[in-house]
Structure 1
Amino acid sequence: MLWSALLPSPTSTGTAPPTEATQRALAIWALQFTPRVALVDEAVLMEVQASVRLFGGWRALRERVLGEGRELGLTQLAWAPNGLAALALARAGIENGLRRPLDALLDALPLHTLSAVHPHRLTLEHIGCRTLGHVRALPRSGMARRFDPHLLQALDQLYGQAPQAHEWVVLPDVFEQRLELMARVEQAPALLWGAQRLLRVLSGWLAARRAGVTAFTLKWAHDAMRSRAAGEGGEITIRTAEPTRDIEHLCRLLAEHLARVALLAPVGELVLVATEVQPLQDVSASLLPDAVRQGEKLGLVLERISARLGAQRVLRPVLCEDHRPEWMCRWQPAALPLPRKGAQVTDQPQPGFVLPVPLRLAVRDHRPVYHGELMLLLGPQRVEGGWWDRAEGEDRMRNVVRDYWVAFSAQAGVLWVFQTRLGETPAWFLHGHFA
């Protein structure tokens, strides 16, 4: 099993545990990662064994939890095979409990890292116990007679020798979160800092419900030292055209509305309410499987798709050592290895789109015409060769003798054209468009 312990920041005194509202908000946010979230003492515990692969692996999940959790007051994170062990490591400031043997890590921890030790801490210190390993080494029969039986049970659970039971946090049906600001705010745009923290919790709640918000209301309460005309507070409702849980988008909308709000008195508290919520189905907009964006190599994905659809149905472009534009690139089955040699490099601009067959252009006063007369900007770039290359199934050589130009059309934009040089009467052709 894989457990994570999240420790929120303490109160402003620095010694008291975090407020219940802060801990509860962090737990609701954590429900987007797993339905198994529990509140234990001052921490939030998550059982994420079944969620690691969904979020791209242990490292990707760690980076996301740390990156987003800091905005909600997360100060310490720890991972371990069980919940109590993760909590003990977090209290000791140790994050990774998976690399070394768990028993060795826990034996070296101080007594305060296990809550069940707190009632007996003075007694244990008087008999020379300074670490959990010292407590664990005491005779079990003597501990059972002299201490609370809960101490032995907690030690067994800590070291994974007994099962743990937790009361899981239930996702509320209605989202309403309150935040007391650290300082009184007198300008409405400054409310965005606290609102952004509430929106982060809202995002986790929406993700756990597989839903998106179409309307939310931000309420604020005025400071007690206010004039009677100011009233108790105010509120603003933000609506979206489609259900969403994109925090950046919601923050931008809220910032635009707050810029036009004038506060009648300093604000000390915010409340965020999701007033309209709709189901939101997650749809991937990628042409490739989600595993590609989660770190799986593209070659492995192409091999799997080729095996499913057939080798000739999954092709990839391969650059070739050929200066003729039509044959600079060829297509081969994606499962085949790429050639070691690359394509020729030219200092001349190359178009983003090349026509499969060059389009012959009309000529007016010896100048090519395509949606009007073309203006030649850069050139010529001479391309000549191919007398050695025989077309498959045809009794001819693919020899080209051309002068390429970068041209401009007022209607079609920047074009790639060429003029034939040998053989029949010189003619102009359109061969590509610049993106």
Structure 2
Amino acid sequence: MLWACINLPHLAMDGILRRHPVTGPLVLVDGPANARTIVAANEPAHAAGLHVGQRLSAAQALLSQFEAMAYERESADRWHRFLAAVAYRYSSEVSLLPHAIVLEVSRSMGLFGPWPRLEAMLRADFTALGFRHRLAAAPTPHAAQVLATVADGQAVQGADALRRALQGVPLAASGLPAAAIAALPGMGIRRLGQLLALPRDGLRRRFGAELPAALERLTGERPPGLESYRPPDVFDLRIELLHEVENRSALVFPLRRMVDDLAAYLAGRDGGVQRFLLRLEHREGRCTDVPVGLLAPERDGVLLFEFARGRLEHVVLPASVLALRLLARELPAFVPAGRDLFDERPAHALPLGQLHERLRARLGERAVYRLSGTTDPRPERAQAVAEGDHGHDEPSPRPTWLLTHPVPLRGPPPRILAGPERLETGWWDGAEACRDYYVVETSLGQWAWAFCPPGEQDGWMLQGWFA
């Protein structure tokens, strides 16, 4: 087996920075109000001398101008689970470890290629989402976590190679029980290799069963004992804005980030979304809901963003917006559209369904519609706007583009391609019509649907055009 570990040393800070880009010093603080302590700091804060574990009061004495935000454990946990759902795209065995995600990839390499290629794909996904990370691979998940902590990019396979890789790891980075890490240096044990060489019975007598069990999980002598992670069937993401927003254009950037997260989540599930809700939160608990519905499941981030932005552009904000929430409760299976090997369509041509959704998002729900047939045989009354999105799609000998009223067909006599089709109807309502219809080709090469009086081929009247 081969386990990959994605170590996330700056999970909480990256979760903040991807929503609220900050260029100056920023720290996250936790603890009682009178003893706030720094638990995370960005690069400008580190450069200014602020560090993890420092009291907030000491940091304020050292640096007068910096931004401090409360550390939210629930928010960090949500990002942790979200990234596990992204990693689920590459393996069905995904587990959560403190500040890390592990996934079994030996079977995945048959689909995604050898480890260097799979590693590059994982890095690309996490970098695009804005989360800094360290990657390593090893025969056990706990060993992969240890290697990712001490050095980015390591990949070892086999028990002998694993023991060699663990030889020089400091005990502080081993992930072993804290009591043992504190006591072992007093015995002259400072490296993991020294500890692995000691008899397990002696360790068990001195430290109990917890330390030998941790070593056996590290080397693969004992099952890892991890709980498998499964992505939930609902996507729910909420972003609080830094200030009240009164202009729709200011919502585009957070909307793009939320939709990209939705697309990454869907890729991890190998699914799509057909309906989701964008909720704009105002003061006093008021909300404005913007539903986004598609003709078929999609998961392309660019398309989903364009559809959502198109719906948002038609919304009149009743009040300033404090937060955005994206909720998708229905996540059906996604089947990519197939294309022939020698498909002659242009590279950027859109399928009809996507074009339909793009036009509806830009022009409005009623601006794009389908036509359905009626029971009236007269061409000018034979079509009506279809209810819903289920119009008549079967091929027809009549053109889709029918004129409201027939007009004379100018120019030289057309060439008859098919016909005649005689229509004699309308006697019941005083609008009687008796005509012979033909499919004709005009002198300009256009295909038209035209008619003449019965038994004649003169005085052509144009009724419609073929595409």
1:205 to partner: Cα distance: 4.3
1:161 to partner: Cα distance: 2.6
Q: Are positions 1:47 and 2:122 aligned together?
A: no
2:85 aligned residue: 28
Q: Give the Cα separation in 2 of the matches to 1:128 and 1:220.
A: 60
1:162 to partner: Cα distance: 2.5
Change (3 A) 1:24 1:144: same
2:176 aligned residue: 116
Q: Are positions 1:97 and 2:155 aligned together?
A: yes
Q: Over residues 118-142 of structure 1, what are the superposed CA-to-partner deviations in whole Å (9 max), with x where a residue is unaligned?
A: 2322212332332222322333222
Q: Check whether the contact 1:210–1:281 (CA below 8 A) recurs between aligned residues.
A: no
Unaligned runs of 5+ in 2: 14-27, 29-39, 41-51, 53-70, 343-443, 446-467
Q: Check whether the contact 1:30–1:37 (CA below 8 A) recurs between aligned residues.
A: yes
1:254 aligned residue: 308
Change (3 A) 1:234 1:80: farther
Q: Give the Cα separation in 2 of the matches to 1:27 and 1:111.
A: 27
Q: Are positions 1:4 and 2:11 aligned together?
A: no
**What percent of counterpart residues are identical?**
27
Q: Which amino acid aligns with 2:339?
A: A
1:65 to partner: Cα distance: 1.5
1:190 to partner: Cα distance: 4.2
Correspondence 1:174-189 to 2 at 5 A: 175-181=234-240, 183-184=242-243, 186=245, 187-189=247-249
Q: Which amino acid aligns with 2:99?
A: E
Q: Which amino acid aligns with 1:202?
A: L
Q: Which amino acid aligns with 2:299?
A: R
Change (3 A) 1:239 1:153: same
Q: Give the Cα separation in 1 of the matches to 2:244 and 2:194.
A: 51
**How does the TM-score come out when normalised to structure 2?**
0.53
Q: Give the Cα separation in 2 of the matches to 1:182 and 1:5.
A: 33
SS in 2 for 1:267: strand
Q: Which amino acid aligns with 1:126?
A: G
Change (3 A) 1:217 1:79: same
**How does the TM-score come out when normalised to structure 1?**
0.57
Greater CA deviation, 157-166 or 196-205?
Answer: 196-205
Change (3 A) 1:131 1:265: farther
Q: Give the Cα separation in 1 of the matches to 2:171 and 2:257.
A: 34
Change (3 A) 1:21 1:108: same
The number of aligned residues is: 282
Change (3 A) 1:83 1:195: farther
Q: Are positions 1:218 and 2:275 aligned together?
A: no
Q: Check whether the contact 2:281–2:288 (CA below 8 A) recurs between aligned residues.
A: yes
Q: Check whether the contact 2:11–2:80 (CA below 8 A) recurs between aligned residues.
A: no
Q: Are positions 1:80 and 2:135 aligned together?
A: no
Q: Check whether the contact 1:97–1:105 (CA below 8 A) recurs between aligned residues.
A: no
1:285 aligned residue: 339
Q: Check whether the contact 2:88–2:269 (CA below 8 A) recurs between aligned residues.
A: no
Change (3 A) 1:245 1:152: same
SS in 2 for 1:183: strand
Correspondence 1:13-412 to 2 at 5 A: 13=28, 14=40, 19-70=76-127, 71=129, 73-98=131-156, 101-173=161-233, 175-181=234-240, 183-184=242-243, 186=245, 187-207=247-267, 209-222=269-282, 226=283, 228=284, 231-259=285-313, 261=315, 262=317, 264-268=319-323, 270-282=324-336, 284-285=338-339, 287=341
1:208 to partner: Cα distance: 5.1
Q: Check whether the contact 1:111–1:117 (CA below 8 A) recurs between aligned residues.
A: no
Q: Check whether the contact 1:79–1:97 (CA below 8 A) recurs between aligned residues.
A: yes
